[in-house]
Amino acid sequence: MTAPRVRAAARPMLGIRLTGTGMALPGRVLSNDDLAAMVETSDAWITQRTGIRQRCVVNPDQTLLSLSTQALQQALARAALAPQELDMVFLATMTPQMATPATSARLVDAVAAGDAGALDINAACSGFVYAMNLAASMIHAGSAQHVAVVGAEVLSEIVDWTDRRTCVLFGDGAGAAIFSRTDRADCGCLFQEVGSDGRGWKQLYCPRSPRDLPGDDHVFSGTFNTLQMNGREIYKFAVSRLEKCIDGALESTGLAAADLDAIVLHQSNARIIEGAARRLKLGLDRFYVNIDRYGNTAAASVPMCMHEMAEAGRLQPGDRVLFAALGGGLTWATSLWQL
């Protein structure tokens, strides 16, 4: 007899605390008007369709590693944790510095975290939430005491700057969070879920050569090693899957939407976040939105939100916070915490 497949955590993982957050922004700001000078678009189109007003991109001297290092160092400082106390560093990214070594291994070295474990995770925009679920699971299992989770992207390196369908959407950045074991039994991960549907890979992909092309009428701008996206299909996927992610977390924990103090969604389109707020009958102030300033930074978007919220005093002990992200793969991940 085959046992039913369980992907969502059936029991809460308590005794885990968010101890510090950090963030790094690249040096160059590109406004919608800057982009309108590069491709046929306008500030009005971008703002109305996406909520994005500007995004940051790296200067030549900035890399995925330098952004990740800066974000993680700040998170360590906020957590008042010595780097060598870290047991594990996850780096969620779809733009690693090289194919090998994993950028996370260099990150461990860059922050002097001794011989901590290092693993890059590529689940596109869902990567950070995937990784925070893994961090919670490791701490809950007793195999780690302090785990750093970094989400970082240099998407400007894989954006086709002549393709207006994609280049207006993305930005670079990095965010970091540290999770630690605690004796407090009233905080931790109340629910977690990850999932994927590889049948939808053609809706968002980055082909290296002709071998990687879908071979039918799917979107291809003509430039290899750049992001190709069917915006409409991704939008439909994001809206419908997000609904399932949120409902699954609420049903499983017996909580109502109104019991959540904050909801942090991947920043892919302000309209998707506004739609979720309407459906849950919650004010938009319960959601954190910074897509207007940073665009879609894929795996970096959720930790950048977390850091800004923490700095603004919007993540308080006892708060229930739902994190959810969706992205290429297709992939999705949900993580519900009591802080």
Alpha-carbon separation of residue 303 from 11, 288, 319, 325 (angstroms): 24, 11, 17, 11
Q: How far is the CB of 186 from ligand ACO (least distance, A)?
A: 33
Question: Residue 105 or 239: which CB sits closer to ligand ACO?
Answer: 239
- Spatial CB neighbours of 265, under 8 Å, sequence gap ≥ 6: 242, 272, 273, 276, 287, 302, 323, 324, 325
Sequence length of the chain is: 339
Q: How far is the CB of 159 from ligand ACO (least distance, A)?
A: 11
Clarify whether 146 is annotated catalytic: no
Q: How far is the CB of 199 from ligand ACO (least distance, A)?
A: 16
Question: Residue 85 or 212: which CB sits closer to ligand ACO?
Answer: 212
**Contact indicator for 230, 169 with CB cutoff of 8 Å:** no
Please name every residue paired with 296 in a beta bridge, in sequence order, or none if there are none.
170
Q: How far is the CB of 286 from ligand ACO (least distance, A)?
A: 20
Backbone angles phi, psi at 296, to 5 degrees: -90, 110
DSSP 197-254: -GGGGGGEE--SSGGGS-SSS----S-TTS-EE-HHHHHHHHHHHHHHHHHHHHHHHT
Question: Residue 182 or 290: which CB sits closer to ligand ACO?
Answer: 290
Question: Residue 19 or 32: which CB sits closer to ligand ACO?
Answer: 32
Alpha-carbon separation of residue 30 from 52, 105, 223, 231 (angstroms): 11, 31, 22, 21
Question: Residue 41 or 156: which CB sits closer to ligand ACO?
Answer: 41
The residue type at 242? L
Please name every residue paired with 21 in a beta bridge, in sequence order, or none if there are none.
177
The residue ranges that bind ligand ACO (CB under 6 A) are 41, 45-46, 49-50, 125, 164-165, 168-169, 204, 229, 231-232, 234-235, 238, 266, 268-269, 296, 326-328
Clarify whether 290 is annotated catalytic: no
Under DSSP, the state recorded for 296 is B
**Contact indicator for 149, 132 with CB cutoff of 8 Å:** yes
> For residue 28, with 0-12 CB atoms within 10 Å meaning exposed, 13-18 middle and 19 or more buried, which class applies?
middle
Clarify whether 266 is annotated catalytic: yes
Q: How far is the CB of 158 from ligand ACO (least distance, A)?
A: 12
Catalytic pick among 266, 269, 305, 307: 266
- CA nearest to 280, candidates 330, 245, 314, 235: 245
Q: How far is the CB of 272 from ligand ACO (least distance, A)?
A: 7
Catalytic pick among 32, 56, 125, 305: 125
Question: Residue 13 or 227: which CB sits closer to ligand ACO?
Answer: 227
Residues recognised as catalytic: 125, 266, 296
